[in-house]
Amino acid sequence: MKGTCLKEKCIFWEQHELEGKVCPFYRETIWSNAESNQPIVCEDCAPVRSMFMQMDDHNNTMGVKKLTGEIRNSLENLKKETNEFMISHGSALNSMKKNTEQVLLEVSKKGEQHDIPLLHNKT
């Protein structure tokens, strides 16, 4: 990470230095080095550093937006395929559902009548 303050090319720095003051945009920022975990002190110009950080945030936002679009598209494809499957196999699924409902009704009726040996209380 390099500092963004260019003292030798900055009009503000020269003007404030002649007056014996420090440039109002000058900031010393501390960053951590990813490789060595050592702190790095950078001499920064606040507007320039802010612009770089804003550009970085914008790029991150665009990446999130792209991924959100890809997820939305894949969900639309899944929805389309599920609908196609339900249309093509709908009659078979409906008959399976009806058969399951009939079996459950019969089991519950027999359970009420104590005709199922597994449901009897063994005393």
Per-residue pLDDT tens digits for 73-119 = 998 988 888 888 877 777 777 777 777 777 777 777 766 666 555 54
80: its two tokens? 């389309």
**Residue 2 within any structural domain of the chain:** no
Q: Can you name the residues that pair with 42 across neighbouring β-strands?
A: 29
Separation between Cα atoms, residue 73 and residue 66, nearest integer Å: 11
**Residue 122 within any structural domain of the chain:** no
**Residue 76 within any structural domain of the chain:** yes
One-letter amino acid for residue 46 of the chain: A
Q: What does pTM read for this prediction?
A: 0.50
**Residue 67 within any structural domain of the chain:** yes
**Residue 116 within any structural domain of the chain:** no
* Domain limits for position 50: 7-90
Q: Give 10-51 pLDDT, tens digit per residue.
A: 888 888 877 778 888 888 888 888 788 888 888 888 888 899
Q: Provide the domain count of the chain.
A: 1
Phi, psi (degrees; rounded to nearest 5) at 42:
-115, 140
Supply angle C-alpha 84, 89, 95, rounded to 5: 145
